[in-house]
Amino acid sequence: MEKTSFPENDFRAPVPVVGAGQTNTSLTDKLTSIVFTKHTPLQWFAFMGVGFILVMVLLLALTNLLLKGIGIWGNNIPVGWAFDIINFVWWIGIGHAGTLISAILLLFRQDWRMSISRSAEAMTIFAVICAAMFPIFHTGRPWLAIYWLLPYPNTMALWPNFRSPLIWDVFAVSTYATVSIVFWFTGLIPDLATFRDRATAPWQKKIYGMLALGWRGSAKHWYRYENASLLLAGLSAPLVLSVHTVVSFDFAVAVLPGWHATIFPPYFVAGAVYAGFAMVLTLLIPLRKMYGLENIITMHHIENMAKVMLVTGMIVVYGYACEAFFGWYSGNTYERFMLINRTWSGPMAWSYWMLLLCNFIVPQLMWSKKFRRHLGVVFLVCMFVNVGMWLERFVIIVTSLHRDFIPSSWQMYYPTRWDFMTFFGTIGLFLTLMFLFVRVMPMIAIFEVKTLLPGANPKPTAPSEGGSH
C-alpha cells in the first residue's frame, strides 16, 4: 500500500495530505486549540451574526406560514410546486458531497478525503435539516404530516401509498438523515475522547466525556471500529446514490414534459455531487484561512475538489444536452414545445441561459491548473455553481409546470417575499449550525489525519508469530 510507482502529480499518487513536520502532538495541539481557545476569530462572530439574523427571518417566515397557510407563498395552480421543492432538492443535493467524500472516497482509498471528511459530513447533516424544512412546512400543518408521511398504526386505520414516489422520498431522505448522523457520530467518538482528555474545565471534561462514551483507544475497539466504519461506508455509498435517484423519481415518474425523462436519476446524482463539492469549497476556503489550517487542508485538497467539480459538472451538462436532444428527437409536440418554451420563447428563458452560464461556461475555468490552485477563482466558480444548481431546479420545476399541455391553463409564477425569506432563512440556519459545529466540535477528523503521518503504519517485525496476518 505504501509504495507506489505513480508519476509525480498523478492523481493516483499519494497526496501529501498533511504539511511537512506535523506530529501526533502538533496535530492534537492544533486541532484541539480551535475549540479550546479564548480567542474566537472575529470572522466567526461575523458569520455567526449573519446566520443568526437569517434564522430570525426564518422563524418569522415560518410563524406567518403556520398562522396563515401556504397561500402566502407564490406557488399556485399550475405551478403547485415551486420554491419549496426547488430549495428541498437544492439542499439535499448539497448534502451529497459529505457522504461522497466520507464513504465513496473511503472505499476508493482516497486518503486526501480525511482532512475534509468531518466538516463535509457535518455539512451533509445540516443541509438535510435545511432540506427537511421545505416538505415539512409545505404540508402547511406539519403536526398532521406525521400520518401523511410515516406508516404507523393510527386510529383512522390509514396507511401511506407506497406506490407514490413521494413516499419513497420520505423513506430515502429519513434513512439518509439517520445513517448520516450515525456515520458522523461514529467518526466523532475517538476525537471526542481526545477532546475529553484535552479539556481543562470540569464541565467541558464532563460533556465531551459523556459524548465520547468512554472511548479509550483500545486496539480491540479500533479493530471493530475500522470494521464498522468500512461497513458503514459500504452502506452509505449505495444509499447516497439512491437518495437523489429517488428525488429525481418525484419528477421522472410524472408525465409532465420536462420531467418525464429517463436521464433524470444519473443526472440528478451528478448534479448533487457537483453542488455539494461547490458548497464544501465555499465553506472550507474561508474556514481554513480563519483557523490557519493550510497545513491540513492543503492546495491539493482544493485542487482535487475542483477536479471533481469539473467532472460532475460536465456530466450535468451532458444531462442538459440529453434533455434537449430527446425533447426534439421524441417528435412529440408537447416535448418540443417544452424545449422551445424553456430555452427560447418562454418568459423564463433567461433562467435557462443563466443556468448554462453558471453551470457550464464559468466552471470551464477549472481546466486550468493555475485557476484550480487560485483560491479566489475557485471560490468565485463555486459561487456560480451554487447559484447555477439552484437555477437548474428552478428551470426544471417552474418552467415545466407553468406551461403544460393546455394553453388555457398556462400561468406565470412569481415568488413572494415569504418564499425568499424562507429560502434565505434556511441559508442562515445552515450557517448557524455549521459555525456552531466548528466552534464546539472537532471539525477535522483528528485520528484519521494521524494515520497519514509518517510512522503511523508500522510494519510487523515478527511475521513468524500468529496465524492471522
Partner 1 sequence: MSHGPATPERYGLLAEFESAQTLLDAAHEVRKAGYTKTDAFSPAPIHGLAEALGFEEHIIPKVVLTGGLMGLIGGYGLEYWTSVIAMPQNIGGRPYHAWVAFIPPAYETTILLAALSCFGSLIFLCGLPRPYHPVFNAPRFSMATSDRFFLLVKAKDPKFSLDGTKSFLSGLKAREVVSIDE
Does position 450 interact with partner 1 (CB under 8 A)? The reply is yes
Which bin fits 70, alpha (ψ -120 to 50), beta or left (φ > 0)?
alpha
Among 94, 125, 179, 441, binds partner 1 (CB under 8 A): 179
Name the CA dihedral angle for 109, 115, 118, 121, rounded to a multiple of 10 degrees: -60
Among 40, 139, 175, 364, binds partner 1 (CB under 8 A): 175
Does position 236 interact with partner 1 (CB under 8 A)? The reply is yes
Instruction: Tell the residue number behind the cell numbers 459523556, with chain if given.
Output: 210
Among 13, 46, 182, 361, binds partner 1 (CB under 8 A): 182
Grid cell digits, residue 456: 503511523
Among 161, 200, 370, 406, binds partner 1 (CB under 8 A): 161
Show the CA angle centred on residue 269, arms to residues 265 and 271, nearest 5°: 115
Measured from the CB atom, is 168 or 277 closer to partner 1? 168
Among 3, 219, 406, 408, binds partner 1 (CB under 8 A): 219
Measured from the CB atom, is 370 or 459 closer to partner 1? 459
Does position 209 interact with partner 1 (CB under 8 A)? The reply is yes
Measured from the CB atom, is 31 or 280 closer to partner 1? 31
Measured from the CB atom, is 235 or 436 closer to partner 1? 235
State the nearest-atom distance from the C-beta of 397 to partner 1, in Å.
21
Does position 235 interact with partner 1 (CB under 8 A)? The reply is yes
Distance CA 343, CA 128 (A): 31
Measured from the CB atom, is 189 or 387 closer to partner 1? 189
First to last CA, the chain: 15
Among 38, 39, 370, 469, binds partner 1 (CB under 8 A): 469
Measured from the CB atom, is 40 or 242 closer to partner 1? 242
Residue of 210, 380, 155 whose CA lies nearest to 147? 155
Does position 197 interact with partner 1 (CB under 8 A)? The reply is yes
Does position 238 interact with partner 1 (CB under 8 A)? The reply is yes
CA-CA distances (angstroms) from residue 271 to 84, 149, 328?
18, 26, 23
Q: Which stretch binds partner 1 (CB under 8 A): 53-61, 205-213, 288-296, 409-417?
A: 205-213
Does position 340 interact with partner 1 (CB under 8 A)? The reply is no
State the nearest-atom distance from the C-beta of 106 to partner 1, in Å.
13
Q: Which stretch binds partner 1 (CB under 8 A): 21-29, 256-264, 371-379, 426-434?
A: 21-29
Q: Which stretch binds partner 1 (CB under 8 A): 13-21, 156-164, 315-323, 410-418?
A: 156-164
Residues that bind partner 1 (rule: CB under 8 A) add up to a total of: 75
Among 249, 267, 337, 423, binds partner 1 (CB under 8 A): 249
What DSSP letter does each residue of 86-155 carry, written as one string?
HHHHHHHHHHHHHHIIIIIHHHTT-GGGHHHHHHHHHHHHHHHHHHHHHHHHHTS-HHHHHHHHS----T
State the nearest-atom distance from the C-beta of 418 to partner 1, in Å.
32
DSSP strands (E only) in 272-375:
none
DSSP code, position 442: -
Does position 172 interact with partner 1 (CB under 8 A)? The reply is yes
Residue of 85, 268, 96 whose CA lies nearest to 177? 96
Distance CA 436, CA 438 (A): 5
Instruction: Tell the residue number behind the cell numbers 496476518, with chain if given.
Output: 469
Instruction: Tell the residue number behind the cell numbers 481546466, with chain if given.
Output: 367
> Other CB atoms closer than 10 Å to residue 75's CB: what's the count?
24
Among 90, 112, 215, 435, binds partner 1 (CB under 8 A): 215
Among 228, 299, 361, 412, binds partner 1 (CB under 8 A): 228
Does position 28 interact with partner 1 (CB under 8 A)? The reply is yes
Show the CA angle centred on residue 12, arms to residues 9 and 14, nearest 5°: 75
Measured from the CB atom, is 49 or 151 closer to partner 1? 151
